[in-house]
Copies of this chain bind each other. A is one copy, B any other.
């Protein structure tokens, strides 16, 4: 279990449809836990079967009906138990690292391009996180509850991007440095 819990957490605030959860994921939690909409729909079915969420169809005119899910007491209990379990260290799949390990058999400029691309992505994400920071959390000193959790998530995002940027710059310096011993 894992995505199940992320969905349950989303429902703590208020009920949501699968579509809404999917959209929310893209903008907030999705930066730390990616999930496709198909997976969210399927997971919601499972959660409903297990009685951790309850479903209610909301009829709509001129557009498809929505199925709105709410967390149940069982769901709340499941979440609470899960939060107390030890948290596994996040699993990393960093292809760029694997590519760097091939240095020597692949020309340096190819890898320089890859690092530059990554740097641009980090900077874009950092800018996005910082804009969220400004609009939603101008003064973090007064936060509490759910809001504080969201703020800390954003802070982790900012700090990760910053350290990624620092690494890219260092890597570029070393990769683009004229070869030692070249005349």
Interface residues of A (CB under 8 A from B): 2, 5-6, 9-10, 12, 29, 31-34, 76, 79-80, 82-84, 86-106, 110-111, 114, 117-118, 121, 140-146, 148-153, 155-156, 159-160, 162-163, 166-167, 170-171, 174-175, 179-180
Highest count of chain B CB atoms <10 Å: which of A90, A92, A151: A92
Judge whether A87 and B106 touch: CB under 8 Å. Answer: no
Q: A12-B105, A148-B103 are in contact. Are A92 and B90 (CB under 8 A)?
A: yes
Report whether A94 and B174 are in contact in the complex, using a CB–CB cutoff of 8 Å. Answer: no
Residues of B within 8 A of A12 (CB): 102, 104-105
Chain copies in the assembled complex: 2
Which residues of chain B have C-beta atoms less than 8 A from A141's C-beta?
180
Q: Is the CB of B33 within 8 A of A103?
A: no
